[in-house]
Amino acid sequence: MSSPSRYNFLDFFRGLIVVVMLEGHVLRELLQPSAQSTEAFRIHELFHGITAPAFLFSAGFTFAIATQRKWEEMITLSGGFLRRIWRAILVIVVGYLLHIPFLSLTKTLAEASTGQWREFLAFNVLQCIGVSLLFLRLLVFTVRKERVFLIVASLIGLAIVYATPLVWMKEVTDALPRGIAMAINGLDGSYFPIFPYSAFLFGGAVLSWQFLRSAQVGREAVFMTRLFLGGMGLIVVGFVFDALPFQTYGQYDFWTTSPNFFWMKFGTLAMIMSSLWFLEGRVRHDEKRDIWMPRWLTILGVESFFVYVLHLIVLYGWAGNPSFNLSAWWALQLSVTESVAVFVGLTIAMWIAAAAWRYLKREHTVLWRGILWWMGITFGIHFLKSPY
C-alpha cells in the first residue's frame, strides 16, 4: 500500500472533481436548449449534482490533515491559528466578491437592482466552505480535546442534515434578514446554503480524522474497507427510507432537503474516496511519472481553489469583464461538439494557469505574496474610490 502521509488519492479526487465541474458548467452555460432538454442531459445533470458536495467533502479531509499535524498550534492563539482563521474569512469574502454588481461601491449602492443584490447575497460553494471551516477552527480552539471535537462536530453535522427540511421553510426565511436567510437555505436563490451542504464538510473532516488515526496504527486498509461498505450501506438506507409509506416532515423535497438524499450522496462520496485509495495502492508507479495519476490532474486538484475562481471569471464573467467572457459570446448557442471543444480548451487553459500559479507559489513565494497583496490593495482602492 502507498503511504497515507502523501494523500495522493485526495489530490487526484479533487482533480477529477475539478474536471467534472468544468464540463458541467460549460455544458449548462453554452449548450443549446434543444440539447439540454434531452433525457441524456437530464441524466448528466443528476450525476453532476455530486460535484459541490465533493468539494465540501474534500475540504473537510484537508482540514483534518492540516489540523491534526499542528494540533497544539490550533488550540492556542498562535500565528498559525490566526492565519487559518484569516484564510477561512478570505474564502468567504472572495465568494461574495465574485458576485459584486459593479467595480464601484458608490455605483453598487446607488444602482444595483434587486436581482443583483439577490445574486450578491446568494450562498455558493466558497461561502459555504469558508463558514464551515471558520466554525470548525473555532470549535477546535474552544474544546481543545480531539475526542470532544469529533463528537461535537459529528452531532452538529447530523443536526444540520435533519434540520434542513425545517430550515427550508418560508416562515424561517420571512423571519430573518435576507443575507442570513440566504446563507442557511436555498428558497431565495442560494445554490449551496449551510443547510444541508456544510454537513458534507463536517462529515469529511470527521472521516478524515478517523482515517489518519487508523493510518498511524497501520489499519488504514481496514478503515477504507469499512468506509466503502458503509458508503454502500448509506445509499441503500437512503433508498429504503425514502420508499417508506410515511413522511416525517410536513414540507419535504427529495432533491433539495431530504436527509435520505443527503446520505445517498454522502455514501457515494465515501465509496469514491475509498476506491481511489485502494486504486492508488494497487497500480504500479513510475519514479518519474505517475501513470494512474497524471500530473496535470493532480495540479488541478492541488490548486482547485484557484481554478474554481478563475474559471468562473472566464466562463461567466465578473464585474470587471461583463462582456468579455465565454457566456457573453456563446451562451446557449453551441452544439454538443462545440461545447465539448470549449470544455477541452478551458480545461487545458486552467491546467496551464494552475501550473504557473503553483510554480510561482512554490519557487517564488515572496513574488507570489506580493502579487496577491497588489491585487487585493488595487481592487480595494478602486472599489472604494471609483464613482462608476
Amino acid at 131: V
User: Measured between alpha carbons, how far is 377 from 318 in angstroms, rounded to an integer?
Assistant: 18
User: Measured between alpha carbons, how far is 316 from 303 in angstroms, rounded to an integer?
Assistant: 20
CA distances from 80 to 73, 86, 94, 348 (A): 6, 10, 21, 35
User: Measured between alpha carbons, how far is 146 from 157 in angstroms, rounded to an integer?
Assistant: 16
Cross-strand bridge partners of residue 31: 334
User: Measured between alpha carbons, how far is 274 from 57 in angstroms, rounded to an integer?
Assistant: 13
2 falls in which pLDDT band (50, 70, 90)?
very low
User: Measured between alpha carbons, how far is 13 from 171 in angstroms, rounded to an integer?
Assistant: 39
Spell out the residues 6+ positions from residue 195 whose beta carbon is closer than 8 angstroms to its own: 160, 163, 164, 167, 168, 184, 185
* Per-residue pLDDT tens digits for 16-46: 999 999 999 999 999 999 999 999 999 999 8
Do residues 157 and 250 make contact, with C-beta atoms less than 8 angstroms apart? no
* pLDDT for 1: 34
* Per-residue pLDDT tens digits for 132-181: 999 999 999 999 999 999 999 999 999 999 999 999 999 999 999 999 99
| Mean pLDDT on 223-250 | 90
User: Measured between alpha carbons, how far is 62 from 86 in angstroms, rounded to an integer?
Assistant: 16
Do residues 282 and 288 make contact, with C-beta atoms less than 8 angstroms apart? no
Amino acid at 88: A
* pLDDT for 280: 79
* pLDDT for 283: 67
User: Measured between alpha carbons, how far is 59 from 65 in angstroms, rounded to an integer?
Assistant: 10
* pLDDT for 344: 97
Q: In this structure, what DSSP letter does residue 77 have?
A: T
Spell out the residues 6+ positions from residue 28 whose beta carbon is closer than 8 angstroms to its own: 36, 45
User: Measured between alpha carbons, how far is 138 from 141 in angstroms, rounded to an integer?
Assistant: 5
5 pLDDT higher than 50: no
- Closest to 164 (Cα-Cα) out of 47, 240, 262: 262
* pLDDT for 3: 41
363 pLDDT higher than 90: yes
Instruction: Calculate helix-pair angle for 259-282, 146-167, nearest 10 degrees.
Output: 140
Residue 312: Cβ within 10 Å count: 17
Do residues 304 and 314 make contact, with C-beta atoms less than 8 angstroms apart? no
Q: Average pLDDT, whole number, for the chain?
A: 92
Residue 224: Cβ within 10 Å count: 24
Placement of cell 478524515 in the chain: 208
* Per-residue pLDDT tens digits for 315-360: 999 999 999 999 999 999 999 999 999 999 999 999 999 999 999 9
Spell out the residues 6+ positions from residue 255 whose beta carbon is closer than 8 angstroms to its own: 261
* pLDDT for 126: 97
287 falls in which pLDDT band (50, 70, 90)?
low
User: Measured between alpha carbons, how far is 129 from 194 in angstroms, rounded to an integer?
Assistant: 9
290 pLDDT higher than 80: no
4 falls in which pLDDT band (50, 70, 90)?
very low
Do residues 300 and 19 make contact, with C-beta atoms less than 8 angstroms apart? yes
pLDDT cut 90: percent of the chain above it: 84
Residue 245: Cβ within 10 Å count: 4
Q: In this structure, what DSSP letter does residue 325 have?
A: S
* pLDDT for 289: 55
Residue 107: Cβ within 10 Å count: 16
253 falls in which pLDDT band (50, 70, 90)?
confident
Alpha helices by DSSP H, listed for 169-219, are: 170-175, 178-184, 194-216
Do residues 51 and 21 make contact, with C-beta atoms less than 8 angstroms apart? yes
